[in-house]
Chain A
Amino acid sequence: MATRKAAKTKANGPAHVPSGPSQVLAVVYGTLLLVYLRFIFSAGITHDPAKVMTQALPGLLLLHMGYCVVVLGNKPGRKIGTDVSTAMIAAALSVFFSVIIFGLLVLFGAPAISLVHNTFVCAMHMSILAVLPLFFTYHLDSKVWADIIAMRRPLDHVYAASVCTLIGAWLGAIPIPYDWDRPWQQWPITILAGAYLGYFVGTLGGIALELTKSLCSKTKKTE
């Protein structure tokens, strides 16, 4: 089974994700997003989740597009203009993709009739966080996307961040039923926070994996 997986990775071509200084920048950016989340909280998300989350959308979109162009696009021989337009297309696609994320949220227990606005804005945040960099990095390569959807791509830090965004959102549901009566237990604040934290953890984890992999291959070469 293991050999089959390895074979597949090779078949899908060289790595799309830049390494080196970009990895450091990715971690810095992940931290920046946590600051942004803190900002969303201090902007009064507990008073009116839907409104504050909606207002936070353009900022996230710009930040993420900037991250794609500056960090993820940082490869030799690239054209900034192309990257900017790719980022814009990716942004548009990720906004459309939020419909699917919304469907997933409902499937995993989000209220289906009440609080639709809250859920949908949360889905947009998640979609921008998780899907935009994927579109930017892999474009519309159907083979790669089949692997992404089937969850069988090797975990580079872009893909790991996306997967962990979803897992984080799922784990974010845990505090909701408790009787602490805290305002942040409102739907979907914990889900949103879980998604952002998941993104950060995923980026870190992905980079850690990449580093161990390159270390292993280097030792193999020297042997």
Chain B
Amino acid sequence: MLWKRWTLAVTIVVLQLAAVLLFARGFLPSRVLLPGYTESRVSTEAPFQKAIIMVVDAFRSDFAFSDQSNCPQLHKRINSGGAIPFTAHSTPPTVTLPRIKGLTTGSTPNFLDAVLNIAESDNSSTLANQDSWLAQASRDGRKIHMFGDDTWIKLFPGMFDDCEGTASFFVSDYTEVDNNVTRHIDTQLDQKTEWDVLILHYLGLDHIGHKTGPESPFMPAKQKEMDDIFDKLYNSCDDDTVLILLGDHGMNEVGNHGGSSAGETSAAMVFASPKFETAQLTETAETSPLPWTDTYKYHSRMDQTDLVPTLTALLGLNTPKNNLGVLVSQMLGLWSPEDQLNVLKNNADQMVQILQGQASRESDAKEVYELYDTLNSNPSVKDYYNFLYEAQSYLTHASSNYNTNDMLGGIGLGLLSTILALTVFSALTLAVQGLKRLYLIILLVYFISVFGSSTVEEEHQIWYWITSGWMAFLYISGSRNKFGDGFNWMFVQVFVRMMISWNQTGQKFTKKDDIVTWLSKDGNHPVLWILILVTYGVAFNKVWRYGFSKVESKLAFLLTLITTFASVGFKITQAWEAGEVVPAPLLYLMGLPGTLNEVNARMAGLARFAFSTIAAGSLYRVLSLAGTDKVNLIRDLHAFLTLFLITQSRIQNIPLFMVYYFLEIFLRKATNRSFIFSSRDIYQTEALFQKLVLVLSVSTLLLEQVSFFSMGNSNSMASIDLSNAYNGVTLYQIEFVGVLTFVSNWIGPLYWSTAGLSFLLEDHVRNAIFAKIAEKNNDVKLTTKLVQQALTLRVYVVLAFSSVAISAVMITCFFLREHLFIWTVFSPKLLYQFVWTVLQFALVDVILSSIFVVLVYRSV
């Protein structure tokens, strides 16, 4: 019977995986692009022969144009008319790879590009066979040199005559990564005949944003550095060279990007050349800097894709085939009135081809076609722009080509897994109908919540709310048994409440104060560090007493000491390196300050040392399994895991582990009191047993969710935290970085999943109960059987939720596929749910837990 259920559990997991993959295939199709290259155009005069493209990663509009920007040279040029400023709208997903695609091909990227941006090793995203301004330049015999972010080199293999890539993965490097670009400038400017297009891509500013936010102390200096480089390039420009300074995307209030907030989508774009100073391109002179505004809209607006037709026209090249950009009107003054119409005609003729590929004249694109028809007879500049803007708007909003069969297939498999999971879950909880119904209601509430964009953005609120209700329910059922017993659940809720106030997350209330904001305030850093050290003390105690419990006590003390020290030392160094205020004694302890290279090497060493000792300790604990000692194995390994997770946390989140510690104490006490000591139902073993397992499993599941969001995560791509994804990694190794990224974002769920398993199976009292039941039935083997039954029920609690959740998200994405927020809200949710389902629920909660328990308990 048990064996059957576990086979079925594996089947459900496989079904979920198949469902998600099939759905993704239909939902995230690779964009249908017109093949080939634009071969011809009306020949026009080229105002420029050479172009320098300077990309500053995450160069938000206010970094360039506001009165808080530290770019005086740029402002000077804007005021003199030599530089024409724009706020360029960056289409989400606002991450580098899709943005470079947009900036070079002129097409809007699909959502899959965002995923591939994280899994950067993927080769399918190359643009070698797509039309872009680089392809057009290359086919025209122009030479392109490229220095900076190696994403370009991956995207355009073999297209550069000279290049050097800088790796974009080592986020904590602000200086070296940019110096490696700048050191080429002098040589390149000395041999201007060698190239026609020079691309420079600076990553430092983005790294600063990720690590320490837009208001970082490093930010003004970095802006000045970029400004100086701009000035140097500008001074080297003759009348034949155009200089374009741009950000590929912006960043949000905390320095991350990927989403669709104003800060993330507003990038700076500047066209500059000494030629502009005399050409009088704009009607009114721009003044710079402008007062700061939270809309991030400065000067004129343009779309980032508009760069593509503008640049090709400026250099006298064909407009790339899939371009959706519109030539920037401010540049028209560079051409004669005749040629103005010709460059616009090139743009329009190219764009109408995409229109023909996508919609017929009879469709809703009729009006756009009519505008195109007006261009046949003596068109004016205005007529061209009427058509171009209308076509751009139509084509960027046209729906993607979904494969609805695949999507429906995925949903079907998802529903099948849901039915299976719920059926078995139902069969396993026959003795506790009330509790079962309550859990089903929770699933239903969650299912409904997935259909609203607000409730997806604010999903954490749902979980906080459900958890408070759940605790109230447990309070009542505890109190009804014996007055006072229920209060332990209220204490659990006190610590849940503390978790909730740690980080504000979501969209609506992000800016409200939370504990992290308070801890990060000037002058509060001693409190933060005292809390961190106390938390490390708690972790030390756990690792010493539990983790190294099989090692002789004094030796265990020593081993724990060096392991913990490596971890603390790493966090201190990391904090100092990120520009945080760290109390002087701690800096002294770590021999700080030091030079950046030295510190980086030391950090990698400390992290690796901590990871190695944690791994070695865990392995030793597993290998020293003997006889009856198996009982506390999960608890002991959980101690090591705690230290590992602390090392992977943002420093402001570390004290949360102390909250977890107290929560655990009260959770243990509450379950003991409510279900064991005061229970008069001891002889109704089946009901008691199912109630205990169900309450613990559901509580664990809720805590997994609450702790995930309370660490600052949300359903937005922008909240993916990469600041701990490279701990101990010096060369880019996708496997390690992938694992560390998952771990540092799923810290809470990993913690509570294992803690819950240990509670359920190992707590002494529970063992006693198992033993008692076993004794009563005169069957010693029964304990093992009960452990396995408990695990089975827990697995099905998880599977029921994960099937319902993934099905709900797929159904939402299917029905709302034309919804305005499909790419900004629901698709990121789909990706998050994918990770939850595959990595957290299937891999950690079901497969690893089961394998582990089966191995440990098979021969008790």
The interface of chain A, by Cβ under 8 A from chain B, is 1, 106-109, 111-114, 146, 149-152, 170, 173-174, 176-180
Which 5 A-B pairs rank lowest in CB-CB distance, beginning with the nearest? A150-B479, A177-B458, A179-B454, A178-B454, A151-B476
- Whether A107 lies near B490 (C-beta < 8 A) is yes
The contact of B513 among A113, A146, A151, A173, by CB within 8 Å, is: A113
The contact of B494 among A107, A151, A179, by CB within 8 Å, is: A107
Note all chain A residues with C-beta closer than 8 A to B261: none
Shortest A165–chain B CB gap in Å is 14
Shortest B158–chain A CB gap in Å is 47
Q: Which residue, of A1, A150, A152, A178, has the highest number of chain B Cβ atoms within 10 A?
A: A150
Note all chain B residues with C-beta closer than 8 A to A112: 501
Note all chain B residues with C-beta closer than 8 A to A146: 483
CA distance A76 to B512 in the complex (A): 56
B461 CB within 8 Å of chain A? yes
For window 444-471 of B, CB contacts with A under 8 Å fall at: 452-455, 457-458, 461-462, 464-465, 468-469
The contact of A150 among B461, B483, B497, B506, by CB within 8 Å, is: B483
For window 3-25 of B, CB contacts with A under 8 Å fall at: none
Shortest B384–chain A CB gap in Å is 38
Note all chain B residues with C-beta closer than 8 A to A170: 465, 468-469, 472
CA distance A174 to B464 in the complex (A): 11
Closest to B494 in A: A107
- Whether A109 lies near B500 (C-beta < 8 A) is yes
B508 CB within 8 Å of chain A? yes
Note all chain A residues with C-beta closer than 8 A to B468: 107-109, 170
Given A151-B480, A178-B452, CB of A109 within 8 Å of CB of B465: yes
CA distance A177 to B507 in the complex (A): 9
Note all chain A residues with C-beta closer than 8 A to B476: 150-151
Inter-chain pairs besides A151-B479, A170-B465, 9 sampled, C-beta below 8 Å = A112-B501, A146-B483, A150-B486, A151-B475, A170-B469, A173-B465, A177-B457, A178-B455, A179-B453
Given A106-B497, A170-B469, CB of A114 within 8 Å of CB of B508: no
Shortest B382–chain A CB gap in Å is 37
For window 279-317 of B, CB contacts with A under 8 Å fall at: none
CA distance A151 to B486 in the complex (A): 10
B417 CB within 8 Å of chain A? no
CA distance A80 to B343 in the complex (A): 95
- Whether A107 lies near B480 (C-beta < 8 A) is no
CA distance A152 to B506 in the complex (A): 38
Note all chain A residues with C-beta closer than 8 A to B454: 177-180
Note all chain B residues with C-beta closer than 8 A to A179: 453-454, 457, 507-508
CA distance A149 to B681 in the complex (A): 23
CA distance A107 to B499 in the complex (A): 11
Closest to B506 in A: A177
Shortest A140–chain B CB gap in Å is 16
- Whether B479 lies near A176 (C-beta < 8 A) is no
B493 CB within 8 Å of chain A? yes
Closest to B500 in A: A109
Shortest A52–chain B CB gap in Å is 23
CA distance A138 to B334 in the complex (A): 89
Note all chain A residues with C-beta closer than 8 A to B479: 149-152
Note all chain A residues with C-beta closer than 8 A to B512: 111, 114
Shortest A164–chain B CB gap in Å is 13
For window 476-527 of B, CB contacts with A under 8 Å fall at: 476, 479-480, 483, 486, 490, 493-494, 497, 500-501, 506-508, 512-513
Closest to B518 in A: A113
Note all chain B residues with C-beta closer than 8 A to A113: 513
Note all chain B residues with C-beta closer than 8 A to A111: 512
Shortest A12–chain B CB gap in Å is 13
The contact sample of 17 A-B pairs, CB cut-off 8 A, is A106-B497, A107-B490, A107-B493, A112-B501, A114-B512, A150-B483, A150-B486, A151-B479, A152-B480, A177-B454, A177-B462, A177-B506, A178-B452, A179-B453, A179-B457, A179-B508, A180-B454
CA distance A107 to B446 in the complex (A): 22
Note all chain B residues with C-beta closer than 8 A to A107: 468, 490, 493-494, 497
CA distance A213 to B390 in the complex (A): 71
- Whether B508 lies near A177 (C-beta < 8 A) is yes
Closest to B508 in A: A177
CA distance A77 to B820 in the complex (A): 68
Closest to B684 in A: A1
Given A109-B500, A150-B483, A150-B486, CB of A176 within 8 Å of CB of B469: no
Closest to B478 in A: A150
Note all chain A residues with C-beta closer than 8 A to B501: 112
Closest to A180 in B: B454
- Whether B480 lies near A150 (C-beta < 8 A) is yes
Shortest B72–chain A CB gap in Å is 39
Shortest B454–chain A CB gap in Å is 4
Shortest B501–chain A CB gap in Å is 7
- Whether B455 lies near A114 (C-beta < 8 A) is no
Closest to B452 in A: A178
CA distance A114 to B493 in the complex (A): 20
Note all chain A residues with C-beta closer than 8 A to B475: 151
CA distance A1 to B490 in the complex (A): 24
Shortest A66–chain B CB gap in Å is 31
Closest to B468 in A: A108
The contact of A177 among B455, B480, B486, by CB within 8 Å, is: B455
Closest to B493 in A: A107
Closest to B497 in A: A107
Closest to B453 in A: A179
Shortest B618–chain A CB gap in Å is 37
CA distance A16 to B808 in the complex (A): 49
Shortest B794–chain A CB gap in Å is 26
Closest to B479 in A: A150
CA distance A168 to B486 in the complex (A): 21
CA distance A150 to B483 in the complex (A): 6
Note all chain B residues with C-beta closer than 8 A to A173: 465
CA distance A1 to B681 in the complex (A): 9
CA distance A107 to B486 in the complex (A): 15
Shortest B321–chain A CB gap in Å is 39
Note all chain A residues with C-beta closer than 8 A to B493: 107-108
Note all chain B residues with C-beta closer than 8 A to A151: 475-476, 479-480
The contact of A114 among B453, B457, B483, B513, by CB within 8 Å, is: B513
Note all chain A residues with C-beta closer than 8 A to B462: 177
Note all chain B residues with C-beta closer than 8 A to A106: 497
Closest to A175 in B: B454
Shortest A198–chain B CB gap in Å is 14
CA distance A159 to B497 in the complex (A): 28
Given A150-B479, A152-B479, CB of A177 within 8 Å of CB of B461: yes
Note all chain B residues with C-beta closer than 8 A to A149: 479, 483
Shortest B504–chain A CB gap in Å is 10
- Whether B497 lies near A109 (C-beta < 8 A) is yes
Note all chain B residues with C-beta closer than 8 A to A114: 512-513
Closest to A166 in B: B472
Note all chain B residues with C-beta closer than 8 A to A177: 454-455, 457-458, 461-462, 506, 508
Shortest A90–chain B CB gap in Å is 23
CA distance A108 to B490 in the complex (A): 10
CA distance A112 to B513 in the complex (A): 10
Note all chain B residues with C-beta closer than 8 A to A1: 681
Please encode chain B, from 661 to 692, with 1 for each CB lying within 8 Å of some chain A CB and 0 for all others: 00000000000000000000100000000000
Shortest B634–chain A CB gap in Å is 31
- Whether B464 lies near A109 (C-beta < 8 A) is yes
Please encode chain B, from 747 to 777, with 1 for each CB lying within 8 Å of some chain A CB and 0 for all others: 0000000000000000000000000000000
Shortest B463–chain A CB gap in Å is 11
Note all chain B residues with C-beta closer than 8 A to A150: 476, 479-480, 483, 486
Closest to B480 in A: A152
CA distance A136 to B452 in the complex (A): 44
Shortest B482–chain A CB gap in Å is 8
Shortest B253–chain A CB gap in Å is 18
For window 556-596 of B, CB contacts with A under 8 Å fall at: none
